[in-house]
A and B are shown apart, each in its own frame.
Chain A
Amino acid sequence: MKRDVLSALARLALALFLLMPLIPLAIWSVAHGWRFPALLPSELSLAAWSYALSPVSGVVGSLGLTFFIAAVTSVIATALAYPAGRALGRLRFPGRSVVLVLVLAPAVLPAIAVALGLQGLFLRMGWTGTIWGVVLAHLIPALPYPTLVLTAVFARFDPHHEDQARCLGARPLQVLLHVTLPAVLPGLRTGAVLAFLISWSQYLLTLSIGGGKVQTLPLLLFTFATSGRNDLTGAVAMIYVLPALAFMALLLRQRSKTAPLPNRTDR
C-alpha cells in the first residue's frame, strides 16, 4: 500500500520533471506580449498557432518531412538490427564484446565529429542536400538502439521454439511469422520507436548533410528561436514535441500490456 503511494509519487515527479520545460513554451505559444516581471501574459492570442499551421510558414510540410525521414530511418534501422541482434544475442563467439562496443560507438561519439566526417564523404559522393542522404546519416546514430534492444530480446529467446514449430509442420516463413516475430515483437516495437525518436531529434546531422535543403522541424524551430519570435517558437516547439511524447506514451502503454501475467495460484 505504502509502496504504491510512493511509486505513484515517483511517477508523478518524473512526469512533472519531463513536462516542466514545456509549460513556458505552451504559455508562450498563446501569449500576446509577455514581459518581465509579469507572472502570466496579459493577453492571450492564437495568432502564432494560426501562422504556424498556415501553409505560409512551412511548418506543416516540415512536420511531414520530419515524420517521413524518421519513419524510413526507423524501418531501415529495425530491419538491419533484426539479423544483427539475432546473431549477437544468440551466438557466443570470440570478440563478441568488442562487436557490441563497436555497435554502441555511434551513440557515444560526439555528433559534431561524426557530422563533419560524414559531410566530407557525402559531398564527394554527391549525397548531400537529399532526403536519402539525410536518412543514411540518421541511420548512424539510430542503428545502435534497435540493435541493442534486439540483442537482449534474442538472448532470452530459445531457438528451440523454431525447431519445435518446424516439427509441427511450419514452413520457415510460417515459423518467422507465427513464432519468432510474435516472440520478439515487443523488442521490435521498442527498437523502432527509439530509432524513430533518434531521427526525430537530429539537428546537427540534418543541417550538415541536408545543407539547409532538407528542412526538418528542429531546423525550422531553430530558425524561429534565433529570430526572437517567442510565440512562434513556442507554437512550433509544441508541434515538434507532441508527436514524440505521443510515441513515448504508446511505447509505455504497450510495455505494460506485454508485461508477463502474474502466475496463477491454483497450480
Chain B
Amino acid sequence: MKVPLQLSGLRLTYPGSATPTLDGLDLSVGAGSLTALLGPSGTGKTTLLKLIAGLLHPDAGDIRLGDRSLLPLPPERRKVVLVFQAALLFPHLTVAQNIGFGLRMQGLPTDVIARHTDAMLDRLHLTGLGARRPDALSGGQTQRVALARALILEPDLLLLDEPLSSLDPGLREAMRALIRSLQRELGVTTLVVTHDQAEAVALADSIALMQGGRIVQHATPEVIFARPATLAVARFFGGENVLPGQARGGVFESAIGRLPLPAGTADGPGSLTLRPEAVTLGPGADARAARVMECRFLGTQTRVELDLGGTRLVALVAPHLAGGLAVGQSVGVTLPPSALWFLRENPEAPPAVPE
C-alpha cells in the first residue's frame, strides 16, 4: 500500500544544546516515491529519521503517515522500518533468522516465515547464504541482509540511513541500482539519508535539502540544480557562479554588464546564478570577451576559470572543447539566458578577481 508522509513543524532541541537540531521542519514525501534527505554531516538527518521511526520524540510538530499521526505510537506499531547506517545484524542469529526476525515477532508460523525468508533471500541475491552467520558476510551482503530484513515486513515507510556509505565504490553502483529497482517494484514510500549530492541525484525522485534544522528546498534534482531556492543551496550543489547586481525593468545590471531576466521579475537588488556547465566557450553572436585564468582537466570535464571584465566565472566544458585553451588567452563566453536564475539575495562577498 502506498502511503504519503507528512512532517510539519518538527522541533527538537537535544538537552544541553543551545541550538535546536530541528527548527520547525516541514516536509511532504509523496506516496510511493523515493526522496533523498540531503545535507552536510551533523545537520540532524539521522535525528529526523529516528523521530519518524519513533526512537526519539519531537518537542513540537506532527508526523503523519497516510491519515494517521505516528506520534502516539511506539516504534513497533508505526509500520516504519529504519535501516541504520551500520547494518546491525543480530550476531547470534543466522542470516535467515535475521531476515525473518520481524515476522517471528509477529508470531507467524515457522513455515510461513521460512517461505517469506527464502523469497527475500532470492530477491536480494542472497540465495544459499541463509545459514551463514552475519560475521561471515561481505559488506555488500551485510547491507542486503539488512534491507531484506526491513522489506520482508512490507512497511508503509522505509527509512535508509546512508545505505551506501560503508560500501566500496564499485559495490555502491550495484547497491544503488538494487535499492532503486526494489523500491519501484514494491512501491514503498522511502526516505534515504545521504550527505553525498551525487548519490542523492542518482538515487532519488526528489531531493530534500536540509540546512539549519529545516528543509530549505524540496524538488526534483533537475530543479534544484537549475533553480536553487537560496545561494546556500546553489553552493551546496556546486553552483559557483554568483553575480551580485540589481534587477531593473526586466534586466539584470551587474559588473559584467546587462543580462536578460525572466519576464515579471520585480526590481531590486539580488544575485544571478548560472551553472558552470551551462557556460559555453567560443565565438558566438552573444559572446563576451573573457580571459582564461586557469584550466584544469577533471576527467570527464575540464574546469575553466575565467576573468570576465573583473568578475570570476567558472565553466565546466567537455574536455575536447577546452583542448586548445591556454592560460592568459582570450576567449568568447556565452551565458545562455535560459540558464540564468535570479535570487533576491546578495552574496556575502562578491566574487572578485584576486589581485
A interface with B by C-beta (< 8 Å): 158, 160-161, 163-171, 174, 178-179, 182-183, 260-261, 263-264, 267
> Cβ of B92 and Cβ of A168 under 8 Å apart?
no
Q: A168-B105, A169-B153 are in contact. Are A263 and B75 (CB under 8 A)?
A: no
Q: A171-B76, A178-B105 are known contacts. Are A166 and B54 too (CB-CB below 8 A)?
A: yes
**With A174-B105, A263-B136 as given contacts, are A166 and B75 in contact (CB-CB < 8 Å)?**
yes
Chain B, range 131-147, C-beta contacts under 8 Å to A: 132-133, 135-136, 138
Residues of A within 8 A of B105 (CB): 165, 168-171, 174, 178
Complex Cα spacing A160 to B138, Å: 21
Q: Which residues of A contact B133 (CB under 8 A)?
A: 261
Residues in chain B near residue A165, CB distance under 8 A = 90, 101, 105
Least distance between B117 CB and chain A CB atoms (Å): 13
Set of chain B residues within 8 Å of A167, measured between Cβ atoms: 53-55, 75-76, 80-82, 150
Q: Which residues of B contact A267 (CB under 8 A)?
A: 138
Chain B residue total in the interface (Cβ 8 A): 29
Please give the distance in Å from A153's CB to the nearest CB on chain B: 13
Q: Is the CB of A168 within 8 A of B149?
A: yes
B138 & A168 in contact (Cβ 8 Å cutoff): no
Chain A residue with minimal CB distance to B133? A261
For B341, the chain A residues whose CB sits under 8 A away are none
Residue of B nearest to A158 (CB): B88
Q: A160-B86, A161-B90 are in contact. Are A169 and B80 (CB under 8 A)?
A: no
CB–CB B135/A164 < 8 A: no
Which of B50, B81, B84, B136 lies in contact with A261, CB distance below 8 A?
Answer: B136
Known: A163-B55, A168-B153. 12 other contacts (CB 8 A): A167-B76, A167-B81, A167-B150, A168-B101, A169-B102, A169-B105, A170-B101, A171-B74, A178-B105, A182-B92, A261-B133, A263-B135
With A168-B105, A168-B153 known as contacts, the answer to whether A160 contacts B88 (CB < 8 A) is yes
Bound-state Cα–Cα, A167 to B49, Å: 11
Partner of A161, one of B50, B80, B88: B88
**Residue B264 CB within 8 A of the other chain:** no
Is A166's CB under 8 angstroms from B55's CB? yes
Q: A169-B106, A169-B153, A170-B105 are in contact. Are A160 and B135 (CB under 8 A)?
A: no
Q: Which residues of B from 68 to 84 have beta carbons under 8 Å from A?
A: 74-76, 80-82, 84
Docked CA distance A215–B90 (Å): 46
Name which residue of chain A comes closest to B146, CB basis: A164
Q: Output the nearest chain A residue to B97 by Cβ-Cβ distance.
A: A178
Residues of A within 8 A of B74 (CB): 166, 171
How far is it, in angstroms, between the C-alpha of A260 and the C-alpha of B102 when the chains are bound? 25
Which residue from chain B places its CB closest to the CB of A163 in the assembled complex?
A: B55
Query: Which residue from chain B places its CB closest to the CB of A167 in the assembled complex?
Result: B82
Please tell me if the beta carbons of B92 and A164 are within 8 angstroms of each other in the complex. Answer: no
Residues of A within 8 A of B150 (CB): 167-168
Residues in A with CB closer than 8 Å to B88 are 158, 160-161, 164
Chain B contacts for A260, CB-based, 8 A: 135
Residues of A within 8 A of B92 (CB): 182-183
- Nearest B residue to A265 via CB reads B136
Q: Give Cα distance in the complex from A171 to B104, angstroms.
A: 12
**A263 vs B132: C-alpha distance in the bound complex, in angstroms?**
11
Q: Give B353 Cβ to nearest chain A Cβ, in Å.
A: 51
Assess whether B257 is interfacial by the CB under 8 Å rule: no
Report Cα–Cα, A179/B105, bound state, in Å. Answer: 11
Cα–Cα, bound, A158→B88 (Å): 9
What 1/0 mask marks residues of chain B from 90 to 124 whose CB sits below 8 Å from any chain A CB?
11100000000110111000000000000000000
User: Would you call A264 and B90 a contact (CB within 8 A)?
Assistant: no
Q: How far is the CA of A165 from the CA of B86 in the complex (A)?
A: 14
- For the complex formed, measure the closest distance between the CB of B253 and the CB atoms of chain A, giving whole angstroms: 55
Per the bound structure, the CA–CA distance linking A163 and B86 in Å amounts to: 12
| Chain B residues numbered 33-85 whose CB sits less than 8 Å from any CB in chain A | 50, 53-55, 74-76, 80-82, 84
A260 to chain B, nearest CB (A): 7
Residues of chain A contacted by B80 (CB below 8 angstroms): 167
Centre residue among A166, A182, A260, A267 by max chain B CB count within 10 A: A166
Contacts of A160 in B (CB 8 A): 84, 86, 88
Kindly report which residue of chain A lies nearest to residue B76, judged by CB atoms.
A169
Contacts of B153 in A (CB 8 A): 168-169
- Chain A residue nearest to B159 (CB atoms) is A167
In the assembly, what is the distance between CA of A158 and CA of B89, in Å? 11
B91 touches A183 (CB 8 A): yes
- A142 CB, nearest partner CB in chain B, Å: 27
CA distance A178 to B133 in the complex (A): 16
A168 to B76, CA, bound (A): 6
Query: In the bound complex, how far is the Cα of B352 from the Cα of A18, in angstroms?
Result: 82
CB distance from A189 to the nearest CB of B (A): 14
Please, which residues of chain B bring their CB within 8 A of the CB of A263?
135-136
A27 shortest CB reach to chain B, Å: 46
- Which residue on chain B has the smallest CB distance to residue A258? B92
**17 examples of A-B residue contacts, CB within 8 angstroms:** A158-B88, A163-B75, A164-B84, A166-B55, A167-B53, A167-B75, A167-B76, A167-B82, A168-B153, A169-B102, A169-B106, A169-B153, A170-B105, A171-B76, A178-B104, A182-B92, A264-B136
The CA-CA distance from A233 to B327 in the complex, in Å, is: 100
Query: Taking the nearest CB of chain B, how far is it from the CB of A171, in angstroms?
Result: 6
Please name the residue on chain B nearest to A182 by beta carbon.
B92
Cα A99 to Cα B15 with chains together (Å): 24
Within 8 A of A (CB), among B268-326: none
